[in-house]
Amino acid sequence: MSLYKSCMGHLYALFQTLNVRAKYFSPQLILLLILFNPALAQVNDTTQRLPAIDTANKTNKRSLEDTTFQLQEVEINAGYYKVNNREKTGSISRITAQTIGSQPVSNTLAALQGRVPGLLITQSSGVSGSGFKIQIRGQGSLLQGTDPLILIDGVPLSAGNSALNVVSSAASASNNSGISPLSLINPADIESIEVLRDGDATAIYGSRGANGVILITTRKGNAGNIQAIANIHSGISTITKTMDMLNTRQYLEMRAEALANDDIVSTTVNAPEITVWDSTRYIDFKELLIGGNAAYTDVNLNLQGGSANTQFLIGGNYKRETTVFYGDQAANRGGALASMNHLSPNNKLRVLLMASYTHSKSNLTGEDLTRYINSPPNMLLFDQSGNLNWQEGGVAFPGSLPNPLAASYNEYTGIYRNLISNLTLSYLLAKGLSLKSSFGYNSTSGDEINLNPSTSLNPNTGNLPFSFFGNSQQGSWIIEPQLEYVGQWGKGKLSMLLGTTLQENRYSSLNISAYNYSSDILLGSVAAAGFSYSSNDNSHYSYRALYTRANYNWDGRYIVNVTGRRDGSSRFGSGRQFANFGAIGAAWIITNERFAKNNLPFLSHAKLRGSYGITGNDQIGNYRFLDSWSNTAQSYQGLTGLSPVSLYNPDFAWETNRKFELALEVSMLGDKLSVATTYFNNKSGNQLVNYSLPIQTGFPSVLRNLDATIRNYGWELELESKNIAGKGFSWNSTVNLTVPKNRLTEFPGLSTSPYYNRYIIGQSISTTRNFKSLGVNSETGFYDFLDVNGDGAYTNDDKTILINTDPKFFGGMGHDFSLGNFQLSLFLEFRKQIGFNYLYTQSTNVPGTRYRNQPTIVLERWQTPEDNSSIQRYATSVVSNPLGNYLVESDAIYGDASYIRLKNMSLSYNLPSAVSKKIKVKHMKLFSQGQNILTITNYLGADPENQNLYILPPLRTITCGIQITL
Amino acid sequence: MDRNHSTMAKFLFMLLTCTCFCCKQTIEVETSSNLIQQKAVFENEQTAFAALSGLYTRMFALNLSLANGGVTVYAGLSADELENNAGDERYDFFYNNALLTNNSVIETNFWSAAYTCIYHANAIIAGLEDSNALTDVAKQPLIGEAKFIRAFFFFYLVNLFGDVPLTIYTDYRKNSLMARTPSDQVYEQITLDLLEAKHSIAEGYPNGLRGRPNKMAASALLARTYLYRGEWQKAEVEASAVINSALYALEPDLDKVFLSESPEAIWQLARTNANTAEASIFIPSSSSVLPTLSLSDSFIEGFEPGDARKSNWVAVNIFDSTPYYYPYKYKSRTSVPLAENLIMLRLAEQYLIRAEAKAQLDRVAEAIEDINAVRDRARSMETHGTSPLPKIASSLSKTEVMKAIEHERKVELFAEWGHRWFDLKRYNKIDVVLAGQKNGWQPYKALFPIPLAQIQLNPYLLQNIGYDY
């Protein structure tokens, strides 16, 4: 490990250097990165060719693709059409099966972290199945979601990236989490993922493209003999990082000091931990609650093959993950994938059918146990009969001190099913003209139950056992007939596409809260409840579109791509349902010009491209333009109630998002080094937002258009290099870097709007105003803040410190080594940002508060006058120093949350073909993989990614496995 | 090239056809089965009733919110009534009168709870006024009921916070930028609404139960409003209307005053499947545990000897050899069996309102009769005591009677609806009384702070003087 650490240390130094450069940003940084790249050391050695392909790999087309460096041949899926990577006019990145397969993750989104420029994925919770926040090129909307459109083989995932569950569980600890729909997609079934970012690539998705598009393509069979591939791996997961808490002695000292500081005599009432509880007992709650080892097992079996005209693939998969929590919980997922391709003998009819089904069952605790790691360390957990304990020495635990294990006695079981199927038929009508249609269907359903047996309840509350039941179904179908024409037109190639989309989504859910069970035995039965409340919900969304694309490629030098879409959505009121979107993209392939060929021989490829387009956003929920009332859960004197759903505003309309980008893509030295630099500038206007309102209006917000403009702009850089490409040894590297900026450029009437205090024109929308913290006053021992105008009061005018929590830059760096039959890949994810430190979640629990343990960091608190400390003196409550309450509105709760994470390390060994022949397998591979292995950070808190001490941090997973091809 | 041209022609032709086919008609979707359009809600009486039911369920949706025990508990802690023994800091801020402007109870349980109900009432009023399907005869009682609820919430808002934005329409564009309305104007609206409610709601209860306010409930709240405003004559008239109504009587058994069938109840909030939030917070789970909140020593010492209210409405747990007294008016702690509703207005208060109004009008002898009506019950219940609670002597002066009324209100209406907190303010005694009992008492603390987050959402909403911001 010390070797790792020293390596990481060097990388961190590099990172710091970059940081300095980033301030001046610009081309210099790119140059710097290029200079750093060892590829330049190989400049003279242009004779080296692609590495020889291991004979053992020849039969396996995928690994052939993966191990070679073939930028020019790669066909990129742009959704409605495919485009040669070198001829694309838009911004599209591709992640392949190899990258995904080397990562032991259960959610595909985790495998994308740090891999794609402009794509920021943040894991909010480490609980199995929980969600991720996705942002493509910044936050363009003040308050609406930033979720991109997610399509699987052209079928929109009907739940998108929003949580599936209707009942809460350990997975729903933070705003962005809940059970993620993407957790129902088996990462091993994915052939490639394309991320569409700019106007040119996304405008064809019209209203749904404003936040970018993620296209997931599943595996297909290849022609050849039937091949069976088995891939089995298992390992363990532990938490990445959290904080050490005080032990019993330290805790009791803290409490005693706090009482002394506040001149309070400890009694059984105000300090039972000292006066009543056993002071020799010590429980390390961090270890007990979240310190476990989670087992991870993943099995994938595939059978594929076929003739030149017909190929098939069938596969099955199973995954089991237990949790790091106290108790026995596990998430199980099983699934199947089948796909079939057929091309008629006359080469006119093409059929493609795929179906994927996943069944998952999650047993989780009712709550994220991480929120209890600050329980007092000498708390008595069990009584003499082994039941959960709720008192000691006759002093009952108050409502604010639950037994931390109670949540593990609450059992959440969620069963989710997901079916995706797609049929694509295409027929060649005439030369160059084909008619094509896809028919897609996606259905997701969930059955959930959360049981709260008497064993988990505090008897002092008098609450009887209760249960929550949830049931939800959502389905969507999509039909997309298209006409495609490809032909020569003059000196160039013309491709045209015209299509229409018919799409319907339906959602329904049923939610039952059942209370007052007389016993725990019947908790699973609704009928056995003393009483219950139920509610249901259903909605229908209909969507129609007409879209077109025309692409003209003049002599491989000039390419123009025009896309357009007319969209109609049922989410808008009559007269506002339709809107037009479109984009134009152009590319100039410089290296195909005669002058470049003659004068710039070291360039193997150079392209300048740009695009401008308009996309929209209709992520607003259904029926919002209606003046609706709905049933209340409870009734009054036997009569059910009705309640207004929202404030009435029928006049909202489409928002528009204008995207501009300019990029230069260069490959040189026989493709040894490829660099792509992109500048993007997106402007979102006429924003459709949940406009915040003071509650005196009856609701906290109203859906309306807002005349504010947000600009997201910045640079993206991608670099790929073949540093060494020898016969026995090769080394390839990739680097990607994004330097994003967010600015609120216009907001008419800001000063008289509900946002007068929240947003600042010319600043990022993540920027907040804060008091200036003066640290701990060395006389009083309490936190002190700067009264800027000296008026003796802390008001908004004193909030002069602006803090921007947007990442300054982020990205990833990967290295793939190959030595003989060994392959090693390393991937680092890095992020430079300011975030909430641990004080954010500690704010009202000042060190010394009754029943609240503290991180060991508080040992450095202020004790006597003249002490210089960053931690205020121990106090029994925030009441003893009301100023402490301003802490959460000061700059003290922010800190450096930058990190470099060894996101992935994967080592594999291919058995020599001689050996595999002996044991009668075609090919065999042994491998070990690790995720989130090491994190280097100065962050003051738990994990710098989810930035919350009381939510489970991302997990570190290490596995070993074997892949056998028969 | 010819061949290409003809293919292109075909292509373009299809393109045109498609364009014509697509996208001009509106897209229709099925409506959701659990959504009703506002217009339809007020097209028939049944659904219009349901809109009111929804308003009542909203009132008890959150435990310890304004209309569901919140005023009782938090105003009781702020005054000299209740003490906090729990580890829960929420109570400390009120008990120590150390409220910060970002206090979440103030924002959620009081401000938001009140304004969401007020909006709901406004939406009912607007919906009914716009409805062409319902007759005036059907509409007016419902509008009256909604206005009663609106007045009820503004009454508490204006007494807890001082000036508050007077939102009586549903338009968010106007409401969102509304500044605080002077309390005189708020009171004018309260009076107007209650008068209309009194005029249009029937005297009888709709289904025999007292879960919805009737004409007398409007009079009762009106009597209290006039009392707070010093309009003694009007207060006396309204209180008399309630006392003289045949519907009510003082329940002779103190233990039965707060039961659902209490003859004293003028308006009850009938929670579905639960007894009161008050009982579940005040009554400890067993006789050996420390009560979360207990009555202050000064309050307990205030009971006269022989006052049965101390034995029947107060209970005690001995913990660590110290007695902790707690309110025991409501007696059903758990949710089964259902026995008690939250009493919003009751007759005893009307006697004390009338007594005070009469005393102020120099009808001292009549005032003493009303006080004694309430004391009689407290005396008759005390069976084993040697010195029964005496009647108020008829010889007392006006000043002495006023003092007797203040005492009587304190012991009759304790741990109910913040009466003590409001009385201390009304009688201008708050500074004298609380300065002696609470550390760091300052006169500005008589009003709760306006929630900071709300101020940050409305540039015209200003903070009460004394609070930081």
Assign residue A288 the CATH number of its domain: 2.40.170.20
DSSP assignments along B12-59, one per residue: HHHHHHHHHHSS-SPPP-PPPTTEEEHHHHTTSHHHHHHHHHHHHHHH
Distance, in Å, from the CA atom of B220 to the CA atom of B194, rounded to the nearest integer, reads 10
Closest CB to A462 among B22, B207, B333: B333
What DSSP character marks residue B466? T
Residue A485 contacts B, CB cutoff 8 Å? yes
Chain A CB contacts of B50 under 8 Å are 639-642
Is residue A793 a contact partner of residue A787, using CB atoms and an 8 Å limit? yes
CB contact residues (below 8 A), chain A span 429-448, against chain B: 430-433
Closest CB to B30 among A540, A630, A850: A540
Please tell me which residue of chain B has the smallest CA distance to A272: B87
Distance, in Å, from the CA atom of B17 to the CA atom of B11, rounded to the nearest integer, reads 10
Tokens of residue A578, six digits: 């339709």
CB–CB of A568 and B36 under 8 A? no
CB–CB of A627 and B270 under 8 A? no
Residue spans of chain B under pLDDT 70? 1-26, 87, 381-386, 469
| Contact pairs from chain A to chain B, CB under 8 Å | 295
Within a domain: A571: yes
CB–CB of A695 and B118 under 8 A? no
- What is the structure's pLDDT at A866? 79
Tokens of residue A269, six digits: 């009432």
- What is the structure's pLDDT at A63? 38
Chain A CB contacts of B126 under 8 Å are none
Dihedral of the alpha carbons of A669, A672, A673, A676, in degrees to the nearest 10 = 100
Residue A516 contacts B, CB cutoff 8 Å? yes
Is residue A515 a contact partner of residue A633, using CB atoms and an 8 Å limit? no
Chain A CB contacts of B177 under 8 Å are 752
Please tell me which residue of chain B has the smallest CA distance to A852: B87
| Residues facing A156 on adjacent strands | A151
What DSSP character marks residue B211? -
Within a domain: A560: yes
Chain B CB contacts of A642 under 8 Å are 36, 41, 47, 50-51, 53-54
Closest CB to A537 among B34, B53, B54: B34
Is residue A449 a contact partner of residue A412, using CB atoms and an 8 Å limit? yes
CB–CB of A577 and B38 under 8 A? no
- What is the structure's pLDDT at A65? 36
CB–CB of A641 and B334 under 8 A? no
Chain B CB contacts of A537 under 8 Å are 32, 34
Residue with tokens 């067993």, as numbered in its chain? B286
- What is the structure's pLDDT at A266? 87
Chain A CB contacts of B122 under 8 Å are 698
Distance, in Å, from the CA atom of A248 to the CA atom of A280, rounded to the nearest integer, reads 7
The one-letter amino acid code at B454 reads Q
Residue spans of chain A under pLDDT 70? 1-73, 143-145, 173-177, 843, 880, 882
Within a domain: A76: yes
CA of A420, closest CA in chain B: separation in Å? 24
The one-letter amino acid code at A831 reads R
CA of B257, closest CA in chain A: separation in Å? 21
Closest CB to A641 among B50, B177, B333: B50
Distance, in Å, from the CA atom of B389 to the CA atom of B407, rounded to the nearest integer, reads 13
What DSSP character marks residue A490? T
- What is the structure's pLDDT at A906? 94
CB–CB of A850 and B87 under 8 A? yes
Is residue B175 a contact partner of residue A696, using CB atoms and an 8 Å limit? yes
Question: How many helices and strands, by DSSP H and E, does chain A display?
Answer: 13, 43
CA of A563, closest CA in chain B: separation in Å? 14
3-state secondary structure of A874: coil
Range of the domain at A820: 37-247+282-367+410-446+473-499+541-702+710-766+805-846+881-965
Chain B CB contacts of A534 under 8 Å are none
Closest CB to A631 among B4, B34, B320: B34
Within a domain: A400: no
The residue among A697, A757, A789 with the most chain B CBs within 10 A of its CB, best to mutate, is A697
HSE toward the beta carbon, residue A356, CA cutoff 13 A:
24
Residue A643 contacts B, CB cutoff 8 Å? yes
Helices in B60-182 by DSSP H: which ranges?
Answer: 76-78, 89-95, 104, 113-130, 136-161, 172-175
Within a domain: A724: yes
Residue A695 contacts B, CB cutoff 8 Å? yes
CA A607 to chain centre: 32
The residue among B2, B3, B10, B11 with the most chain A CBs within 10 A of its CB, best to mutate, is B11
CB–CB of A696 and B165 under 8 A? yes
Distance, in Å, from the CA atom of A98 to the CA atom of A96, rounded to the nearest integer, reads 5
- The CATH code that applies to domain B38-277+349-455 is 1.25.40.390
Distance, in Å, from the CA atom of A269 to the CA atom of B89, rounded to the nearest integer, reads 14
CA of B229, closest CA in chain A: separation in Å? 25
CB–CB of B123 and A399 under 8 A? no
Within a domain: A292: yes
What DSSP character marks residue B386? S
Distance, in Å, from the CA atom of A662 to the CA atom of A510, rounded to the nearest integer, reads 49
Chain B CB contacts of A623 under 8 Å are 31-32, 35
> With pLDDT > 70 as the criterion, what percentage of chain B qualifies?
92
Within a domain: A798: no
The residue among B158, B176, B444 with the most chain A CBs within 10 A of its CB, best to mutate, is B176
Chain A CB contacts of B33 under 8 Å are 536, 538
Within a domain: A853: no
The residue among A696, A797, A879 with the most chain B CBs within 10 A of its CB, best to mutate, is A696
Closest CB to A882 among B98, B170, B461: B98
Residue A780: CB atoms within 10 Å: 14
- What is the structure's pLDDT at B268? 94
Chain A CB contacts of B454 under 8 Å are 694-696
Q: What average pLDDT does chain A have? A: 85
Tokens of residue B326, six digits: 């707690």
Residue A865: CB atoms within 10 Å: 10
Chain B CB contacts of A756 under 8 Å are 456, 459
- What is the structure's pLDDT at A70? 42
- What is the structure's pLDDT at B20? 46
Run of H or E residues at B407:
helix B398-412
Closest CB to B334 among A462, A485, A566: A462
Q: pLDDT tens digit string along A362-383?
A: 888 888 899 899 999 999 999 9
Closest CB to A498 among B18, B100, B454: B18
Domain boundaries, chain B: 38-277+349-455, 278-327
Tokens of residue A596, six digits: 């470049």
Q: What predicted TM-score, i.e. pTM, was given to this entire model? A: 0.83
